Amino acid sequence: MPREADQRREAILELAHTTGLASVEELSLRFDVTPSTIRRDLARLQQAGSLARTYGGAMAINGRPESSLRERFGEAYEAKRGLARWAAGQVVTGESLLLDAGTSTGALAHELRRMGPLRVSTVGLTALQELAGLEDVEVECLGGILRPVSLGFVGPVTEAALERRTFDRTFLGADGVTAEDGICEADERQTRLKELMMRRSAHVYVLAHAAKLGRRPFHAWAPLPDACTLVTDESATQADVAAFTRRGIEVVVVDSTGQRRS
Amino acid sequence: MPREADQRREAILELAHTTGLASVEELSLRFDVTPSTIRRDLARLQQAGSLARTYGGAMAINGRPESSLRERFGEAYEAKRGLARWAAGQVVTGESLLLDAGTSTGALAHELRRMGPLRVSTVGLTALQELAGLEDVEVECLGGILRPVSLGFVGPVTEAALERRTFDRTFLGADGVTAEDGICEADERQTRLKELMMRRSAHVYVLAHAAKLGRRPFHAWAPLPDACTLVTDESATQADVAAFTRRGIEVVVVDSTGQRRS
DNA sequence: CATGTGTTGCGCGTTTCGCGCAAGACTCTG
DNA sequence: CAGAGTCTTGCGCGAAACGCGCAACACATG
């Protein structure tokens, strides 16, 4: 494989990331190849998720690797937005909230943007990005080591910060949830953190779309407290829901517009 | 003016921001108008900076209004990149670094992406975003309250986290720097934080392009320590540079490629 | 040398774009 | 109520950009 082509593509990427915007013609002159070739390069880079194609050129993709943005975000997106909307509806102006890391809570953060004065603490980079720059929301990051996959903060720093604060409501995500064992995560640091988060708040909400219910993908667990609301979507089975209610856990089923259905 | 049109444009914006991507045809069907109208809407929204046009549609622009992204980033961009490159060249694989908030240190973070195993702590959201998702860099956020303008974290949580850690090198930004008083910032919390950051590290670098030298835009100050390197660009005057060296502060002047010039 | 992979330039038909124009809807004003 | 002004919309048209297939070429490998 000619390295010349790879070099050019890398240079294009570099250029796009620094300039922010680059046109096909510009690039074709710059590298002395035909617009066709540039188009092919851009198509490839776009597919790799490192660029966004525009009319006549390309622009740098801001922020996160596409993987977490569309691939993981696309999965059950409508459902998650429904959960987020309902959850946002529970929030009262002026409250102090705690947001977990993950896409569900990221969606919640997005909904919170238009909710006026709030105080939001979070352990998730996604939520931070959603709330960054807002004037009427006091955003706090609890700090910690950033986990590359989930884009969440964990570790002693996070836990120490948590211990200095309490919240009106806490919203958690999960890799899996069961009625028996609670929240399932890949990592023990995460479950310990979630336990701590649950203890620091009067109300705890677990946002988990139907596919998460009953799943046990890993082996680290955080038990659910008594005062806890599980929020899920319409495709949850009766059996799944019943398992939780039997344990005394309130279950809220919402549709994709955020309306409660049961 | 027909409010119907404004409503549609707002809805388009909403849709684009939640879906991430929207096609012209899709939108034209959704709102029952011709593609022409949609195109005009998109053009207007694009010009307003709330949207990016793609071939056949539009995509949501991540993050905040273009102002902070390009306008502020564009200002002295080449110079900042030069500083960042030189600074990245100082770093040795495996070290522990501390990065301040701001665009200069954001640019540094960008350069650090390809530098292999590192441990980077930061008080800036920009740096976090640059380093998010990397496997071979351990990223730590010190936490704190997020200041909307600078996208930096401040407050007791940040300071407490800092006190538990030391670093091999610290890279600071500044709103202004003078030889007499040191670093100038808008906010006392920021200067206190910077003082603390300087104390936690063996080497301190201050990244400040020429326009920052001698500036006193605000009235909160953080004095420079003895072991301190000021990194600036070629457009710095001899007088400015001399003022610092006279005080015993090492000054490094770099060109836009990151090569040292003096 | 033959083979295979990857890249490039070119031509083609298709899609999308931007612009100008005329018609319609609305507001304001006399 | 009439008329002027503003804004918007749909349509048609030429220009630009797009994707695709084809043939030629470079380069590494067996």
| Helix (H) / strand (E) containing B51 | strand B51-54
Query: What is residue A103's predicted lDDT score, i.e. its pLDDT?
Result: 87
pLDDT in tens, A88-138: 999 999 999 999 999 899 999 989 988 989 999 999 998 998 898 888 999
Separation of alpha carbons A200 and A121, rounded Å: 12
Query: Smallest CA–C1' separation from A53: which nucleotide?
Result: D18
Separation of alpha carbons B46 and B26, rounded Å: 18
Query: What is residue B72's predicted lDDT score, i.e. its pLDDT?
Result: 46
Query: What is residue B129's predicted lDDT score, i.e. its pLDDT?
Result: 87
Residues in chain B, overall count: 262
CATH no., domain B3-62: 1.10.10.10
Average pLDDT, chain A: 90
Query: What is residue B74's predicted lDDT score, i.e. its pLDDT?
Result: 53
Query: What is residue A74's predicted lDDT score, i.e. its pLDDT?
Result: 52
- For residues B153 and B123, is the Cβ–Cβ distance under 8 A? yes
Domain boundaries, chain A: 3-62, 70-254
* Pairing mode, strands A228-233 and A250-254: parallel
Does residue A143 register a pLDDT over 80?
yes
- Paired with A169 in beta bridges are A97, A203
In Å, what is the separation between the CA of A159 and the C1' of C12? Answer: 63
Confidence band, pLDDT 50/70/90 cuts, at residue A70: very low
In Å, what is the separation between the CA of A2 and the C1' of D17? Answer: 27
Give me B228's structure tokens: 């301190």
- For residues A61 and A133, is the Cβ–Cβ distance under 8 A? no
Name every residue whose Cβ is closer than 8 Å to that of residue B47 and which is 6 or more positions away in sequence.
none
Query: Is B69 in Cβ contact with A20 (below 8 Å)?
Result: yes
CATH entry 3.40.50.1010 includes domain A70-254: no
Residues around strand D, C-beta < 7 Å: A 2, 24-25, 35-36, 39, 43, 53, 55-57; B 1-2, 4-6, 8, 32-34, 36-37, 40-41, 55
- pTM of the shown model: 0.78
Kindly identify which residue of chain B lies nearest to residue A154, measuring between CA atoms.
Answer: B140
Separation of alpha carbons A237 and B215, rounded Å: 64
Query: What is residue A15's predicted lDDT score, i.e. its pLDDT?
Result: 86
Kindly identify which residue of chain A lies nearest to residue B143, measuring between CA atoms.
Answer: A143
CA B151 to the chain's CA centroid: 8
Mean pLDDT, consecutive 10-residue segments, chain B of 262 residues?
78 84 92 94 87 91 47 64 95 97 92 91 93 91 94 96 97 96 95 97 96 93 95 95 96 93 86
State the Cα angle at B40 between B38 and B43, rounded to 5°.
110
B120: distance to nearest CA of chain A, Å? Answer: 10
User: What is the side-by-side strand order in the sheet with A21-23?
Assistant: A21-23, A57-60, A51-54
pLDDT in tens, A237-254: 999 999 999 999 999 999
Query: Is B68 in Cβ contact with A59 (below 8 Å)?
Result: no
- HSE (side-chain half, CA atoms, 13 Å) at A129: 24
Query: What is residue B141's predicted lDDT score, i.e. its pLDDT?
Result: 98
Separation of alpha carbons B30 and B169, rounded Å: 55
Q: For a pLDDT cut of 90, what percent of chain A falls above it? A: 73
Q: Which of A21, A9, A124 is nearest to A68 (CA)?
A: A124
Separation of alpha carbons A251 and A256, rounded Å: 16
State the Cα angle at A257 between A255 and A261, rounded to 5°.
30
Query: Smallest CA–C1' separation from A37: which nucleotide?
Result: C8
Query: Is B143 in Cβ contact with A141 (below 8 Å)?
Result: yes
